[in-house]
Amino acid sequence: MLFQKIWVFLKRDFLTASSYKFAFFWDAAGIIGVMLTFFFISELFQNTQAPLLEPYGGNYFSFVIIGVAFSTYLGSALGSFGGQIGMEQGIGTMEALLMTPTKISTLFLAGSVWNILFTSIRVAFYLLVGIFFFHMEVKGVNFLALTTTLVLSLIPFISLGIISASFILVFKRGEPISFLFHGASKLLAGAFFPVAVLPLWFKKLSMFIPLTYSLKALRGVLLTQSTWQDIGPDLFILLLFSLCLFPLSVASFKYGLKVAKRQASLVHY
């Protein structure tokens, strides 16, 4: 039954997204625009020594595209759940969904599949365009290590997304999680530059951000053929983030739902 539920959600989201055909075009154009920007920045520094990039293979373009591409997972997970709730409240389908005997956790899981799939396609598009058109250097990838890193990164990202959705349920707009984690993560976790560039107290803050460990492990797997031993400590910390954040997110969502039902504000937006 779970697979059929995931299937109908996928079908709903695909049909809705594909009915806005022009949006697909501009999304792809946006990705190419970002890549061109970083390509030319990287060209600017091509012949200069950047010792802080050495642990990542030394090529800034490859470094930054991985940072930009994979941090979209965080943005997508953070926006996905809150966005889904906001959308259902806005278009008026929230009560109809909650009137079904499907568990909230299933609604969330099934409802997020399209977003994760679509983000994966965007990430693959980034990498493929980077490799084939901008000479991005990706070396002997261990796909099992890559998948494990992605899964262990997605759990804390999704948990933060569910906590953000709890705020949307109660306050409708202006949730703080996206602001704190999305913007700050890109700055502190090293999406655009190595964390080593940051001053010490910024570096300390970056240790509390899951994206820091995700990007470190992903760059290791994709750019420098890191072994399981190399990425093991990062995966362990991501696992700890998952174990702490996921139960917290479920509890916060249950509480948010209870408050919204008490306030009779499930359909307000």
State the residues that interact with another protein by CB under 8 A: 1, 4-5, 7-9, 11-12, 15-16, 19, 91-93, 95-103, 107, 258, 261-264, 266
Minimum distance between the CB of residue 121 and another protein, rounded to whole angstroms?
Answer: 21
Contact 185, 211 (CB under 8 A): yes
Minimum CB distance to another protein, residue 110 (Å): 9
CB of 178 to another protein, least distance (A): 21
Nearer to another protein, 5 or 182 (CB): 5
Please say which residue, 34 or 98, places its beta carbon nearer to another protein. 98
The nearer residue to another protein, 227 or 263, going by C-beta atoms, is: 263
* Residue 222 and residue 150 in contact, taking contact as beta carbons nearer than 8 Å: no
CB of 104 to another protein, least distance (A): 10
- Minimum Å gap between C-beta 60 and another protein is 42
User: What letter represents residue 10's amino acid?
Assistant: L
Residue nearer to another protein on the CB measure, 102 or 148: 102
* Residues comprising the chain, all counted: 269
Nearest distance in Å: CB 5, another protein: 6
What are the tokens at 164?
């953000």
- Pick 74 or 107: Cβ nearer another protein: 107
Q: Look up residue 68 and give its two tokens.
A: 């930009």
Q: Are 192 and 199 in contact (CB under 8 A)?
A: no
Q: How far is the CB of 199 from another protein (least distance, A)?
A: 34
Q: 178 near 79, Cβ under 8 Å?
A: yes
CB nearer to another protein: pick between 8 and 151: 8
Question: Which one, 17 or 52, has the nearer CB to another protein?
Answer: 17
